[in-house]
Structure 1
Amino acid sequence: MRISLPPAGLLIFLPPVLFVAACVSDSGAPPTDVTVAAERSKAAPNFEPPTAEAPAYYAFRSIGGVELGAIYAGEQIPPRDEVEPLVEKALAGRHYLKAGKGTPPPSLVIAYAWGSINAEDGDRRTRERMLSLVTTNKMNLEEGSVDLARNPPNLDDGRYFLVVAAFDRAELKAGRKKMLWRSKLSTGSAGTTLTEMLPSFLNAGADFFGQDGLPAVLDGKLKEGVVTIGDAEVVPDKAKSGQAEDRRPPAVPKNASQPGPTED
């Protein structure tokens, strides 16, 4: 049985809110941080994330790559076959396993979308959508609220995003869309590409899958490193000193999982 998918708007955006230009800050620096806006739906406030002892099995559904708002030449949206393996790996690390032959039937449908969104002067609707990417349903988004005064990230240059959401599969099969949780990962698009940012999205934000609360801004792990040179030190040759070199393969984390084949 094929389950109908929710529209992209249900996955990506909260209901329209008033965008307040005074909330936007401009650092002028290339983006390296990832904004994570993770929320549970009102229908599933007590959702319990899976564990290694009790993993959750899911069926994948791709909403696809999209370009929203103004379209800029040269902006590349990676194809599904580049995005899905990254999302699958991140989910497996958090005990969400793709269902297939030899696994229990899926209880979830994991849907995901990715792309870019760029606003133009006077384009209020797109700016509202951009703001919704970096906020959650736990915030008061009325004009003049304390939450809006907490300086959402700069939206002037547009944003790259990846949205991952979980739905109750039994409810979908019955024709009802019951979203359990949604994680919206995004960054400013100036100075980088979506292909470069996808691993950073998932490295920084996958721990928030199934979580709930206020947005967080995390290091996207693209900042330049610093090498400190200290005093020279003589290191004994292990072979000559009679110590065998350790050539064992690196240990595999206890919670690593091998997902099964894709379920159609």
Structure 2
Amino acid sequence: MRRFSPAFLIPALIAAPALGHAGLVDLILGKRDLEVITVTDLSSTGNFVPAATPDQPQYYVAASLGYRDLGGYMAGIEAPPSEVVLHLISAELAKQGYVPSTAHSPAPTLMLVYTWGTLNAENLYGGDPSAPPTQLNRGQIVRFLGGQKVGMDDNFFNPLTAPVRGLTVYNFEAERILDVARESFYVIVVSAYDLESALQKKRLPPLWTTRIAAPSLGFAMGDVFPAMLAIGGAQFGRETPRPVWINANDKFTPSVTLGELRLVEYLQDNPLPVADVSDAVIEKK
């Protein structure tokens, strides 16, 4: 992954984020490869639930939490319509064997919850314009990217217990995650809950949660979501011992653009039975 952070470019990229995702970044950095990082965590209960397959599907009802800015806020990001994102997520789930419940299907056993949006680096700039900013949420991004699976637990960013950099030897994967965590990301999160327990309002952790992330600089959200799902969807419901890090080259990208039949053929054209609970969550907060 290329690194480029001259101080004179920071004001331009902040003042024009929409341009930064397209022409300006390509002009300065050249075209970047799309990198997708996927992490799936299983709970103790989820370890006893096998992942779905096309031959042995699992049926679900779903709720959408909608678009979220999970990290710092950045103006100018154009999110694709919710119905487009929901169809992409549902189509990839169906490809992996997770099928929305209907009146004619077997009874559902899962409740799936979706959310997507950004996980932007939150930087604090001091009075010296030549000094690098202080990133306030690097630990949050490291955890999202699966840092705990490569040796960085919650104590890693605790000032009382964190190891001193330079005296500690990190493994390659930890170094890589720590390095890329300086960037901002587009993210998709799918969590699966036991439906019966959810209906009984039992407070149990999800059976599994899959987090898909891709660095956002140089890309438009609507352009990369299909590729993120096509790459990361294979990990739905499947524990990842390490973060799965895949570089999508130019030959791969065109096969997962919006409207590609292979992404939608697993679902019929009927409206998706996904409850939108995003407004309820916002009001509760």
What is the TM-score with the length of structure 1 in the denominator?
0.70
Q: Which residue of 2 aligns with 1:158?
A: 184
Q: Which residue of 2 aligns with 1:206?
A: 233
Q: Which residue of 2 aligns with 1:129?
A: 140
- C-alpha distance in 1 between matches for 2:80 and 2:41: 26
Distance 1:47 1:192, change over 3 A: same
- C-alpha distance in 2 between matches for 1:151 and 1:179: 28
SS of 2:115 mapped into structure 1: strand
Q: Which residue of 2 aligns with 1:13?
A: none
- C-alpha distance in 1 between matches for 2:267 and 2:123: 44
Distance 1:221 1:112, change over 3 A: farther
Residue pairs, 1:1-264, within 5 angstroms: 27-28=3-4, 30-118=32-120, 119-121=122-124, 122-124=134-136, 126-135=137-146, 138-141=149-152, 142=156, 143=163, 144=168, 146=171, 149-152=174-177, 154-176=180-202, 177-212=204-239, 213-222=241-250, 257-258=266-267, 262=273
Distance 1:219 1:146, change over 3 A: closer
2:51–2:237: 8 Å Cα contact kept in structure 1? yes
Alpha-carbon offset, residue 76 of structure 1: 1.7
Distance 1:180 1:196, change over 3 A: same
Most deviating of 54-63 and 147-156: 147-156
1:99–1:263: 8 Å Cα contact kept in structure 2? no
2:119–2:184: 8 Å Cα contact kept in structure 1? yes
Which amino acid in the other structure matches residue 56 of structure 1?
Answer: Q
SS of 2:66 mapped into structure 1: strand
Which amino acid in the other structure matches residue 181 of structure 1?
Answer: W
Alpha-carbon offset, residue 36 of structure 1: 0.9
SS of 1:151 mapped into structure 2: helix
Which amino acid in the other structure matches residue 100 of structure 2?
Answer: K
- C-alpha distance in 1 between matches for 2:96 and 2:71: 33
SS of 2:191 mapped into structure 1: strand
SS of 1:161 mapped into structure 2: strand
Query: 1 or 2, which has the higher helix percentage?
Result: 2
CA deviations over 1:166-223 (Å, ceiling 9, x no partner): 1111111111234111111111111001111110111111111111121011133446
Distance 1:76 1:154, change over 3 A: same
What is the TM-score with the length of structure 2 in the denominator?
0.65
Most deviating of 147-156 and 75-84: 147-156
CA deviations over 1:14-47 (Å, ceiling 9, x no partner): xxxxxxxxxxx85446351101112212332233
- C-alpha distance in 2 between matches for 1:52 and 1:160: 28
- C-alpha distance in 2 between matches for 1:222 and 1:67: 28
Alpha-carbon offset, residue 137 of structure 1: 5.2
Gaps of 5+ in 2: 5-28, 125-133, 157-162, 254-261, 276-285
Distance 1:263 1:86, change over 3 A: closer
SS of 1:156 mapped into structure 2: coil
What is the number of residues matched between the two proteins?
A: 210
CA deviations over 1:87-124 (Å, ceiling 9, x no partner): 11101111110001211221001111111122213353
SS of 1:62 mapped into structure 2: strand
SS of 2:85 mapped into structure 1: helix
Which amino acid in the other structure matches residue 41 of structure 1?
Answer: S
- C-alpha distance in 2 between matches for 1:95 and 1:181: 15
